[in-house]
C-alpha cells in the first residue's frame, strides 16, 4: 500500500492581496491507497507541481470557488511513504499524466 496525504488551502480576496493563504491544513494524513485506487483518484487532480515527475512531485485539484464567500479552495495529494515504494507513486503519476 502507498501512503498518501491530502492537504488543502483556502485563498480569500484579502489573503491573495498579501500573497498568502487564509487557511490550510490536512484533509487526511497517511491514508493507504492501492496502486489502482491511486491512479483512479489522480483523475481529480489535473495539475502537477513540476514539469518533471519525481517522488517529490505533488498534484493539485482545480480551485473551487465558494460563491457565498468568494473563497477559493484547492486540494493537493502528496506521497508520504513508504520510501521503498516511491517508484509506484512516480508510475501512477506518469500513467495519469501521459
Domain spans of the chain, in order of start = 2-96
Question: Could you tell me if 72 and 65 are in contact, meaning their C-beta atoms sit under 8 angstroms apart?
Answer: yes
Q: Which has the closest alpha carbon to 24: 72, 94, 88, 96?
A: 72
Distances from the Cα of 20 to the Cα of 9, 17, 63, 65, 90, angstroms: 10, 8, 15, 17, 29
Would you state the pLDDT for residue 80?
Answer: 97
d(CA 63, CA 81): 26
Would you state the pLDDT for residue 98?
Answer: 84
Question: Could you tell me if 28 and 6 are in contact, meaning their C-beta atoms sit under 8 angstroms apart?
Answer: yes
Q: Residue 62: which pLDDT band, with cuts at 50, 70 and 90?
A: very high
pTM of the model: 0.92
Amino acid at each position: 500500500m502507498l501512503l498518501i496525504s491530502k492537504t488543502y488551502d483556502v485563498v480569500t480576496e484579502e489573503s491573495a492581496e498579501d500573497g498568502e493563504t487564509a487557511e490550510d491544513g490536512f484533509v487526511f494524513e497517511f491514508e493507504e491507497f492501492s496502486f489502482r485506487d491511486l491512479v483512479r483518484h489522480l483523475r481529480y487532480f489535473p495539475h502537477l507541481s513540476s514539469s518533471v515527475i519525481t517522488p517529490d512531485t505533488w498534484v493539485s485539484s482545480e480551485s473551487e470557488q465558494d460563491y457565498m464567500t468568494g473563497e477559493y479552495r484547492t486540494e493537493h495529494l502528496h506521497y508520504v511513504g513508504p520510501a521503498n515504494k516511491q517508484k509506484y507513486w512516480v508510475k501512477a503519476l506518469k500513467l495519469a499524466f501521459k
